[in-house]
A and B are shown apart, each in its own frame.
Chain A
């Protein structure tokens, strides 16, 4: 068998092998991530769907004043039992204000509510209405954790996630096709329905950014999720033994994840850790405030920063 190089110009082709080998060697020298999933494909597809969705939504954009008005109406009609005359009110308001100082939509005025409920929950309504349950406050362990929870909910407002869920209906109301009375029933539906997966992940990202920008320790954004994961006992995927089972498992997991309205806690933790590592690689978020003692005393950092609460 005679191998003939057809022309000198063909020789460069074999350089690609060198490039591939060099890239593989470089990868082997780094920190490997062996995870396999079809999330990327579903994410690309989700991007396309979202692009179409967003292009439509921009045509029925709601102004900030209108959104805040709607938020106030929804908060008033929700029937949540707010905690009155509690030190949590002022504390949450103060921490939330710190975090909301770094939002993109400056024309939104945020209002923070503490709801008397044993559920570990926090949610946001359009127009800057943010709610935290007493159950959630009992679940958190530091002011930084509270700041990231509030940042997550603020991000839903800042990224228009909250108002986007109402925009179609509002647009129909404008042309006389909607039923105004139904808007009053929306608050509970909004809270129970939750956001889309990409919206949750985006809120995680923006919430981390807001909390970090406010000076809080980024690692505190992950801690509540870890405790939630331990409580729910989420299992890790089994390692595949051959390419077919790997591909099938990845597609099945990806499809399940895509169809699931809420992201898996494990994925959220991984993403947050990636972002934190990325930030630290660029020298950001290395000296954040944890505020465990502040949280215990319900005194915000803006009022009094207790020492020895910074750094890892």
Chain B
């Protein structure tokens, strides 16, 4: 009973909902009509009237509108224009202007006429819109006021039309939808399913019927559209609720429910097609989708969603409303994502459709078909997003609802790949012969589909196998098939896809398989698990590159890198197998093996003029240096490079040989010329690397004292070849090696205490180095090689000359000891002075001067006192006498002093000055050193006499030579003796020695004075 009551109540409410809009519509229609009539009348009244009483030349003030909004000015100006003076002059004065035909005024609106007449009759009291009137001008102002009022009305009617005709209808539809929703909600509580459905059907039917009825009148088209949309939406929701909602379920058979739903959808489609208004269709579909969302997730809801999407696509395809299709795909997949049907859903339409995946696939098929059709039509704008959205929807919904274990997902991906393959075929078939732009077809049509198919297939393989060779083989086959198809069909896009799949395969190797490690047995050999696949991929890549090279066509992006990838894979295999110590390899062989690979690539490049192979050789060669340095040259505890008793550095030997071979190979201009200018630089780098490796090898292989000899030997060989070939780079290698050799001497040779017989290893190892340094100095500064050498190399000759001398001095210091070394230094200085004079080499003479200074300083500091020297064997007197003799011998060998010819700067200037005055220089050094020796060795009581004798001897020698420097030195010593006599001997010496000193020194001074007096004239001509 209560249900009946509520049903009746519901019906009343529904009727209210239905009738109210009709009443409102009728009122609104009448008001519209009245407004239209009013506008017509106002237009008619606004026509200019002929005024015969007006004087022709009477001044008339132009009527202008007072300050008013901009929107109201335009009508006023238009109305005032006919009474302007210009307009009046144009008219014939004898005839009145013709009146415009009166507007047809329907008699259906007498009240309006009465209103207008009443308005005209009514007295005007200070009209606000008219200017102050004067006599006949009141007519004009009246008309102006009318015109202005008409403008206001026109403006108001425009807004009213908009509000009443469009906004109100939409608002009404919205209110109805809300009301229906509220009523449905209320009916959920108070009515049974039948009542609810009945009320909903009544409301929806009424709305739809109203819409259809009003559709015939063009003026109510908007309202009709709103009512129709609401009606269809309500009808769809009601139909859906008849099975989908438990509270309103009156149909248990899903087939029947779906049939009804389809029927409603078909009706919607038909109606929408008739109306041809996308917004209305969109509203209706939004309501329908909302109904699905509001309901519980079920297979039925999903099926309804599919049906809805199908109808939407049909409408979109029919009307080419691509935006609607995009919105539909978003709604469909969105609903499927959040309202995915549970697997154990109740009664469903078809067992095959009971799973969510079937529904998803159905949606995908619909959208793909739509995209195929639209692509064939030449889709533009939002339609281009259909295919990507469809893919994302398919994958997204599937992934969201797939079990976490992803079991069977590989099959899904494979099926998707196959589906996209079919889509590709369809697109090819559909797009064939349509004469569309080829580029657009490639971009929008099959290329995208095959790209997706390839990606999905690769993903399926990845998910299926995850690790192992099957994945590699699968990806490799896919890439190869794509490549071959691309070559056969002439489709560059397929080749691009092949490149991408190869890239995935390589990335997989590097990122996953190589770090994962693992072993596999292949043909009885233990290999890394990924090695066979990598080798196969390398072969395939190399073969593809050869095929491309022979075809001669342009390459797609990435194909040029195929051979690089193949080489990288080979290098990776070699490195991996060696690192895991397979096939008898070991980490210590990685660098060497890569170097061999680089060599082979280089030979290939040379023979077949392959620039790619050339650069690959360079890259692999550089790569090889890393393990050569880290494992072989600088072995650490991290990498155990020792294998089979062979130390890791042993592999430096063949590596050095190969580097030399590569360097020479590239340095040969006749065999490999013109490929690239950088080859010469690469050759230099290879030779430099060869030198470095050779020196490192020598360090490892030779005992500590022999390393310097090994390096010096390498320098000799390098310099010899550098001169004979000629090759400047090699010569510089020799210079670097010699620099290292000299440094090495200070580490392991100067303090070496090894002996062979009675000869120290210091002598045996340092002397050859000195000979090499001297040889370099001679050859670099000599005339024979002058055309061959650059200025910097000739300058290096002097550097080596100085270096050799320094090494010799240091050798003498360690061989003879700190004090006794001065004897050797003095001899070296003497020899260098002689050599410098004979060869006219200033640097040798400068070295002699420097050594003389050094010898003097050391002798002064040590006083010739040799620690622990055997008694009598090396007394200070003997040592000092020898050194002083060498200095005076040097003095005797020197020519007279001269002026400095080429003034230099710094130390060079000092040495040049010393060279110019070397005779005096050596005389001073010898004299001073002899005096120091006397101070150290003579008894104090005889020192003054000894100094006097020294001075006298120098004077005599100075006269005999003749040499002013010696004479000056003699006089200086005599002066020092006299000073000592007065300042020291008078106080400290015993009387006999004091007397002796005075007498002897006095005699010597007298003799000197006599000599100067006797030979005074001759002295003036002496040097």
Contacts and interface: CB of A to CB of B under 8 A. Distances in A.
B48 interface: no
B1002 interface: no
B664 A58 contact: no
A77 to B, nearest CB: 28
B705 A23 contact: no
A40 B871 CA distance: 28
B493 interface: no
B503 interface: no
A266 to B, nearest CB: 13
Interface string A235-255: 000000111111100100000
A14 B716 CA distance: 7
Given A55-B861, A58-B863, A270-B753, A36 B748 contact: yes
A243 B696 CA distance: 8
Contacts of A47: 813, 818, 858
A177 interface: no
A141 interface: no
Given A3-B725, A32-B754, A51-B857, A241 B634 contact: yes
Interface stretch (A112-120, A130-138, A202-210, A299-307): A202-210
A26 B759 contact: yes
Given A32-B705, A35-B704, A159-B867, A21 B713 contact: yes
Contacts of B746: 38, 40-41
Contact of A40 (B723, B725, B810, B865): B810
B703 interface: yes
Interface in A39-83: 39-41, 43-44, 47, 50-55, 58
A217 to B, nearest CB: 16
A19 B634 contact: no
Contact of A3 (B634, B721, B758, B865): B721
Contact of B699 (A2, A44, A209, A243): A243
A150 B870 CA distance: 19
Interface in B753-771: 753-759, 761, 764-765, 767-768, 771
Interface in B625-645: 633-636
A61 to B, nearest CB: 9
A245 to B, nearest CB: 8
A261 interface: no
B668 interface: yes
A175 interface: no
Interface in A8-24: 9-10, 13-14, 16-17, 19-21, 23-24
Contacts of B752: 33, 35
A102 to B, nearest CB: 7
Contacts of B810: 40, 44
Most A CB atoms within 10 A — which of B664, B756, B858?
B756
B747 A37 contact: yes
Contacts of B818: 47
A24 B721 CA distance: 22
Nearest to A14: B720
A43 B709 CA distance: 22
A27 B709 contact: yes
B719 interface: yes
A192 interface: no
Most A CB atoms within 10 A — which of B664, B747, B752, B814?
B747
Given A34-B704, A55-B860, A20 B768 contact: yes
A1 B750 contact: no
Contact of B868 (A40, A206, A246): A206
A78 to B, nearest CB: 27
B779 interface: yes
A250 B744 CA distance: 11
B775 interface: yes
Contact of A50 (B747, B765, B861): B861
A43 B814 CA distance: 9
A213 B861 CA distance: 26
A104 interface: yes
A13 B721 CA distance: 11
B706 interface: yes
A115 B703 CA distance: 49
A160 to B, nearest CB: 9
Contact of B779 (A13, A24, A50): A13
A52 B856 CA distance: 11
A232 interface: no
Contacts of B765: 23, 27
A244 B761 contact: no
A289 B561 CA distance: 84
A281 interface: yes
Interface string B712-755: 11001101110111000000000000000000011111111111
Contacts of B863: 58
Contacts of A51: 857-858, 860-861
Nearest to B932: A58
Contacts of B550: none
A312 to B, nearest CB: 20
Given A13-B716, A51-B861, A19 B751 contact: no
B1014 interface: no
A53 B771 CA distance: 34
B861 A242 contact: no
Given A13-B779, A44-B813, A55-B860, A4 B725 contact: yes
B705 A34 contact: yes
A34 B758 CA distance: 18
A173 to B, nearest CB: 19
Contacts of A30: 754-757, 759, 761, 764
A308 interface: no
B667 interface: yes
A165 to B, nearest CB: 16
Contacts of B725: 1-4
B814 A40 contact: yes
A13 B775 contact: yes
A213 B871 contact: yes
A3 B725 CA distance: 5
A24 B741 CA distance: 14
Most A CB atoms within 10 A — which of B667, B725, B746, B755?
B746
B710 interface: yes
Contacts of A29: 756
B633 to A, nearest CB: 7
B713 A17 contact: yes
B772 interface: yes
B747 A33 contact: no
Given A17-B713, A27-B705, A242-B633, A36 B747 contact: yes
B863 to A, nearest CB: 7
Most A CB atoms within 10 A — which of B724, B814, B869?
B724
Nearest to B707: A243
B862 interface: yes
A7 interface: yes
Contact of B754 (A7, A14, A31, A36): A31
Contact of A33 (B754, B814, B869): B754
Most B CB atoms within 10 A — which of A10, A242, A244?
A242
Contacts of A247: 747
Given A206-B867, A213-B871, 5 more contacts: A7-B784, A26-B756, A27-B765, A34-B705, A284-B870
Interface of B: 633-636, 664, 667-668, 696, 699, 702-706, 709-710, 712-713, 716-717, 719-721, 723-725, 745-759, 761, 764-765, 767-768, 771-772, 775, 779, 784-785, 788, 810, 813-814, 818, 857-858, 860-863, 865, 867-871, 932
- What are the 8 closest A-B residue pairs judged by CB atoms, nearest first? A30-B756, A54-B861, A209-B868, A40-B750, A33-B754, A242-B634, A51-B861, A20-B713
28 contacts: A3-B724, A5-B724, A6-B784, A10-B784, A13-B719, A16-B716, A16-B771, A19-B768, A20-B716, A24-B702, A24-B706, A31-B754, A31-B756, A33-B761, A34-B703, A38-B746, A40-B749, A43-B751, A51-B857, A51-B858, A205-B867, A205-B868, A206-B867, A241-B634, A241-B635, A242-B635, A250-B747, A284-B870
